[in-house]
Structure 1
Amino acid sequence: MYVSMRNRPASPADGHGGRVATTVLLLGVVSMLTDVSSEMVAAVLPLYLTAQVGLGYLAYGFVDGLYQGVSAVVRIAGGYAGDRGGRPKRIAAIGYGVSALSRIALLPAHGFAAVTAVITADRLGKGLRTAPRDALIAGASDPATLGRAFGVHRTLDTVGAVLGPLAAFALLMVVPGSYGSVFVTSFAFGVVGFTVLVLFVPDLRIGGEARIRLRRVVQEVGRARLRRPLAATALLGVLTVGDGFLYLAVQQRDDLAARFFPLLYVGTNVAYLALALPLGRLADRIGRARVLVGGHLALVAAYVAAGGPFGGIAATVAVLLLLGTFYAATDGVLAALVSRLVSAEARGSGIAAAQTVVSLTRFAAAIGFGGLWTLIGRADALLLVAALLAAALPVAWWLLRPAEATA
């Protein structure tokens, strides 16, 4: 199914006039199915690696860092390839396909090296697909409602993120300790998502000549209006602890049974699902930078709730709600902010630049926090990072304010 965007006037079906484009909805369905697949694995991975494979916290921090950051290796390449060819769907399809195949590859992977290789392949696939997919969303949407478009996409994406851990929980309840059944079911959902993308998502053609586009990418990524948001993103990213560490902290503090571990992901994703669209609309009204900084303030509170002296159900629910708020206020909002700072021809590469910074800094954060946990313990490590992130927020706001005015 091929649709050309070149020299074609915008229509309401494309999402202009305040409506969300059909392309955005279809990509949301693809992401929903893919997230069922990926979140099934993510929901069992921390316990699988620490309890079954036997990794220590520093080693787990390295693997979690790969899960967070290895996609940075190809994010710029994926964004530029989609821009250069003018067919971002085709690049996204390769990424979705690689990630789907990695699910079934987890079955024979039992050692540290094998698991690391499979996770690396999965994350490379994610890195390759993300910027072209977001460029498709931005290209099919009205610039005035980008926050809403990304919010709708992230909402559908998060439906899958809720269903994935629930499916993993159900499988582990029926067959305790059967991680293989989780991996096989995850692979099936990944294949269905890939099929929907290939058969039903329009192959939008975006942009002009490749050499002009490359020059604009180099020029615009180097301009001050994008450098400051990237610097703020780096500052905040290096102080963002991976979800797995927060869930392991809660599980250890409250002595939570292993079979209930996937439900922690469900709680976060339900909060994200409820807030993604409202916060996307709020970002369109009051400014995306404000919502982005506010989301990191919620993350500070989540660290305090996970590392503080109080345990029990109330503290755990607070961690999950605050973490979901953080993602709802930052994920699509960052892409929407950056997409308004570059031209249409360089949009995919601009988004990829921001995502690359997020991935690289979170890779460093995961390794650093794994070592910090090993040295000073769970609670002290979380409270220290909370203090550092709180101190960094005014600096991040100062960096982001000019970008907000430009956008």
Structure 2
Amino acid sequence: MYLATTGRRDAPPAPTPGARRRVSATVLALGSVSLVTDISSEMVTAVLPLYLMFGLGLTPLQFGFLDGLFNGATALVRLLGGHLADRAGRHKAVAGLGYALSACSRLGLLLAGVGGAGAGGSGAASGLVATALAADRLGKGIRTAPRDALITLDSPPDGLGRAFGVHRAMDTTGALLGPLAAFALLWATADAYDAVFVVSFACGLLGVLLLVVLVPGGRRAPAPRHRPGTSRRAPLRPWAPLRIPALRRVALGAAVLGAATVGDAFLYLLLQRRTGLDATWFPLLPLGAAAGYLLLAMPAGRLADRIGPRRPFLYGHGAQLAALVLLLAPPVPGPVLLVAVPALLGVFYATTDGVLMALAGPLLPPGGRAAGLAVVQTAQALAKVAAAAGFGAAWTLWGPEPALLVALAGLAVALCCAPRLLPADPAPVPEPAPAPVSVSVSVSVSVSESESAPDPGKEPS
């Protein structure tokens, strides 16, 4: 017996169950690159607040200005990197330039250690540290939008949350291992910062090598469906994506919430001050946030795919609001704070970082994806510059508790305004209905070769 079908023989096969739950090889390769690079970055970041404030003697105002500057100096570079990646169609090349610049910045930190060894060398060392940190932030600004654009171009619209969740989980594994490596090196070498910078430089170069070897060179054909009424061409100017009303609302909402957040470095300094934690253990404070982020990144991505990314993005900022409340609450014991505050920060990043990109990505045409994501990232980064400088100034003028109270009130107001600013989640794109197939059964003694095609009703293995 055989099944003879009437209808189209060239109809596409039914999708394999669970296929949409997988992420592409490109996403996994980019996650591997981010994992190794984040080990390099977080080794330095873990010891930086103590080095700048206690080693170089910066005031909270100076530290807040520098922290905001180095995190926000990437703004224009993000726009430029995203724009160039779209115009040239070379997302991998532009991202690789950013990764290489960040890796080479560790050499500046090494030179700063040598320059500060001699008499009168502290000023030169401070300048080299500032230059190295600026180079690292610029490298991150160049690579972020092209990398995230590669993820969106290689993932279906209803799988963006999962794709970013997997990538951010791998990225956060590096953030978890970086402080551990820094702590182990400082313990083994009697606080030799040069050893941290050497290992960080080697990890940065390994990340660049993995990008070259594992990530496909050409831009992949965009998997997301093109929205009617939007152009497939890259925008002529880096800020052109702001012409899309929904993207303007996303950028404005991200900026409002970013301007009301408190940077991690300040929160860790406040946590150490509140609990009396010995400075030796300070580099381990980010581990709690990294562990929470690692555990929750993929569940948060799946939640964003299921209910839309808008609500998880708001929930994440609510988690930081809860962290500020705990730091202000007098009765909370120190051990509880040491667990709860980093855990809430992990929730904050798991539900905001990749989820914001999943919210903005489907609003953009494939040819302008990197530039559009860069606009949203830039708006958020500039807002965080103002937030860091403002919090540092408030701490210097009024003290840590009043500054924290002002930040708490500002974040509460921002959370009340943001739901009106952010656009509603786009309706999911329905799957095309399968071609109608009529099946008839007949009896045959032999089957000719032309009729021996595989059963079209059977799912491909």
* TM-score, scaled relative to structure 1: 0.92
Which residue of the partner structure matches residue 176 of structure 1? 190
Which residue of the partner structure matches residue 212 of structure 1? 233
Which residue of the partner structure matches residue 387 of structure 2? 365
- Cα distance in 2 for partners of 1:217, 1:16 equals 35
Query: How much does 1:304 deviate?
Result: 1.6
- Cα distance in 2 for partners of 1:175, 1:339 equals 45
Question: Highest CA radius of gyration, 1 or 2?
Answer: 2
Query: How much does 1:62 deviate?
Result: 1.3
- How many residue pairs match? The answer is 396
Q: Which residue, 267, 281, 293 being the options, matches 1:246?
A: 267
Query: How much does 1:401 deviate?
Result: 3.6
Query: How much does 1:64 deviate?
Result: 0.7
Which residue of the partner structure matches residue 141 of structure 1? 155
Q: Is 2:320–2:345's contact at 8 Å kept on the other side of the alignment?
A: yes
Q: Is 2:46–2:286's contact at 8 Å kept on the other side of the alignment?
A: yes
Structure with the larger helix share: 1
Query: How much does 1:223 deviate?
Result: 2.2
Structure 2 residue identity aligned to 1:247: Y
What pairs up with 1:304-319 in 2 under 5 angstroms?
304-309=325-330, 310-319=332-341
Name the SS for the 2:401 alignment partner. helix
Q: Is 1:87–1:206's contact at 8 Å kept on the other side of the alignment?
A: no
Q: Is 1:32–1:160's contact at 8 Å kept on the other side of the alignment?
A: yes
Structure 1 residue identity aligned to 2:394: L
- Alignment of 1:29 with 2:50, yes or no, is no
Query: How much does 1:262 deviate?
Result: 1.2
Which residue of the partner structure matches residue 342 of structure 1? 364
Q: Which residue, 371, 376, 396 being the options, matches 2:398?
A: 376
Q: Is 1:341–1:403's contact at 8 Å kept on the other side of the alignment?
A: no
Which residue of the partner structure matches residue 304 of structure 2? 283
Structure 1 residues 148-187: Cα deviation after superposition (integer angstroms, max 9, x where no partner) = 0000000000000000000011112222322111111111
Residue segments in structure 2 that go unaligned for 5+ positions in a row: 1-11, 117-124, 223-230, 430-461
- Cα distance in 1 for partners of 2:81, 2:57 equals 34
Which residue of the partner structure matches residue 47 of structure 1? 50
- Cα distance in 1 for partners of 2:205, 2:66 equals 25
Name the SS for the 2:167 alignment partner. helix
Q: Is 1:146–1:336's contact at 8 Å kept on the other side of the alignment?
A: yes
CA 1:178–1:216: 2 relative to 1, 3 Å: closer
Structure 1 residues 113-150: Cα deviation after superposition (integer angstroms, max 9, x where no partner) = 32211111110000000000011111111111000000
Q: What percent of counterpart residues are identical? A: 51
CA 1:362–1:406: 2 relative to 1, 3 Å: farther
Q: Is 1:28–1:154's contact at 8 Å kept on the other side of the alignment?
A: yes
- Cα distance in 1 for partners of 2:162, 2:368 equals 21
Which residue of the partner structure matches residue 450 of structure 2? none
Deviates more, 1:136-145 or 1:320-329: 136-145
- Cα distance in 1 for partners of 2:396, 2:426 equals 39
Structure 1 residues 352-387: Cα deviation after superposition (integer angstroms, max 9, x where no partner) = 111111111111111111111111211221122112
Deviates more, 1:133-142 or 1:36-45: 133-142
Q: Is 1:93–1:194's contact at 8 Å kept on the other side of the alignment?
A: yes
Deviates more, 1:378-387 or 1:121-130: 378-387
Which residue of the partner structure matches residue 107 of structure 1? 110
Residue segments in structure 1 that go unaligned for 5+ positions in a row: 1-8
Name the SS for the 1:212 alignment partner. coil
- Cα distance in 2 for partners of 1:376, 1:406 equals 49
Q: Which runs of 4+ in 1 moved over 4 A?
A: 215-219, 403-407
Query: How much does 1:406 deviate?
Result: 9.1
Query: How much does 1:103 deviate?
Result: 1.2
CA RMSD, aligned part only? Answer: 2.3
Which residue of the partner structure matches residue 72 of structure 2? 69
Which residue of the partner structure matches residue 255 of structure 2? 234
Query: How much does 1:268 deviate?
Result: 0.7
- Alignment of 1:152 with 2:173, yes or no, is no
Structure 1 residues 82-110: Cα deviation after superposition (integer angstroms, max 9, x where no partner) = 11111200000000000000012102225
Structure 1 residue identity aligned to 2:356: L
What pairs up with 1:293-304 in 2 under 5 angstroms?
293-304=314-325
- Cα distance in 2 for partners of 1:189, 1:270 equals 21
Structure 2 residue identity aligned to 1:281: R
